[in-house]
């Protein structure tokens, strides 16, 4: 089969305790992986099919999760090119570990466990490298590469949008990207991916109490930074 022949799965992922997700400003009532439509296979069934040699099943799984997982990775890593690399690494790991998957468990938290691990590995590898000045990143020849500042540029709000809105977006990005990695990770998993605390504990392999304390710290951090930014003279 040609690698370009894989069809997009129209299924919109986003399992959550409340049955919807905030990711991408999706409205409530987004279908979830737990309740596939008539004729749809569940994630776990697709993975089982893949174990039996059905490659199309794996392509459907990737298609099903590509928007949600990519969004998480872009927000967590703050870099689109890195998100693409980590996305591929995550699914490669799923492929390599498919026989280790417990069919009694859910696929989505397992996928995010793998992806979060890969993303953390990436951040650690970057921390060991010499830092690159922001300007150098912006001017990189690889047009797909970029920091959040690029992402903001490419999402041109148009002249009718107030400049204040752009400035506010930039401030929020700075706060989130300045947040300690373990707090940013858990806040994104909870707010955008809508994982219940218990599942977050399983994904990150931490006790429920630590899930709570990290989330409280993340919200406190965000609140304090936001307040202090807006208390500065001239800040909106």
Work out which of 8, 134, 163, 236 binds another protein, going by CB under 8 A: 8
Identify whether the C-beta of residue 40 lies closer than 8 Å to the C-beta of residue 10.
no
Distance separating alpha carbons of residues 230 and 236, to the nearest angstrom: 6
* b/e map 145-163, b = 16+ CB within 10 Å: ebbbebbeeeeeeeeeeee
Q: Please report whether residue 67 would count as binding another protein according to CB under 8 A.
A: yes
Q: Please report whether residue 51 would count as binding another protein according to CB under 8 A.
A: yes
Work out which of 12, 117, 169, 210 binds another protein, going by CB under 8 A: 169
**φ, ψ of residue 6 in degrees (nearest 5):** -70, 130
**Of 170, 176, 178, 177, residue with least CA distance to 236:** 170
Q: Please report whether residue 155 would count as binding another protein according to CB under 8 A.
A: yes
Q: Enumerate residues 71-110 that contact another protein by CB under 8 A.
A: 71, 74-75, 80, 84, 87-88, 91-92, 95-100
**Minimum distance between the CB of residue 217 and another protein, rounded to whole angstroms?**
6
Considering beta carbons, is residue 20 or 130 the nearer one to another protein?
A: 20
- Our CA angle for 91, 101, 12, nearest 5°, is 50
Considering beta carbons, is residue 130 or 151 the nearer one to another protein?
A: 151
Work out which of 172, 182, 210, 229 binds another protein, going by CB under 8 A: 172
Q: Please report whether residue 231 would count as binding another protein according to CB under 8 A.
A: no
- CA torsion through residues 46, 48, 51, 52, sign: negative
Other beta carbons within 10 Å of 216: 11
Distance separating alpha carbons of residues 92 and 94, to the nearest angstrom: 5
**Minimum distance between the CB of residue 122 and another protein, rounded to whole angstroms?**
16
Q: Please report whether residue 17 would count as binding another protein according to CB under 8 A.
A: yes
Tokens at residue 24, please? 């991408």
Tokens at residue 100, please? 């280790």
Considering beta carbons, is residue 67 or 120 the nearer one to another protein?
A: 67
Considering beta carbons, is residue 81 or 116 the nearer one to another protein?
A: 81
Q: Which of the stretches 15-23, 27-35, 36-44, 120-128 binds another protein when contact is defined by CB under 8 A? A: 15-23
Tokens at residue 36, please? 């596939």
Packed helices 208-231 and 197-204: angle between N→C axes, nearest 10 degrees: 100
Binding residues for another protein, per CB under 8 A? 3-4, 6, 8, 17-18, 22-25, 50-51, 53, 55, 58-59, 62-63, 66-67, 70-71, 74-75, 80, 84, 87-88, 91-92, 95-100, 144, 148, 151-152, 154-155, 165, 168-169, 172-173, 176, 180, 187, 190-192, 196-197, 212, 215-217, 219-224, 226
């Amino acid at each position: 089969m040609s690698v370009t022949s894989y069809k997009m799965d129209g299924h919109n992922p986003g399992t959550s305790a409340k049955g919807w997700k905030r990711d991408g400003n999706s409205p409530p009532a987004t279908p979830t992986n737990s309740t596939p439509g008539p004729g749809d296979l569940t994630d776990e069934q697709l993975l089982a099919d893949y174990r039996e040699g059905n490659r199309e099943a794996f392509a459907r799984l990737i298609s099903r999760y590509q928007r949600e997982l990519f969004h998480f990775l872009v927000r967590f890593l703050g870099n689109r090119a890195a998100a693409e690399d980590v996305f591929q690494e995550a699914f490669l790991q799923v492929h390599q570990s498919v026989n280790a998957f417990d069919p009694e468990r859910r696929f989505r938290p397992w996928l995010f466990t793998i992806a979060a691990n890969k993303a953390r590995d990436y951040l650690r590898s970057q921390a060991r490298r010499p830092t690159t000045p922001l300007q150098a990143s912006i001017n990189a020849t690889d047009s797909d590469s970029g920091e959040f500042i690029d992402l903001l540029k490419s999402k041109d709000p148009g002249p009718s949008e107030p400049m204040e809105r752009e400035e506010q977006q930039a401030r929020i990005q700075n706060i989130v990207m300045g947040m300690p990695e373990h707090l940013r990770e858990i806040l994104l998993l909870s707010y955008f991916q809508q994982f219940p605390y218990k599942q977050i504990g399983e994904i990150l392999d931490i006790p429920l109490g630590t899930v709570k304390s990290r989330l409280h710290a993340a919200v406190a951090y965000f609140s304090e930074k936001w307040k202090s930014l807006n208390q500065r003279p001239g800040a909106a």
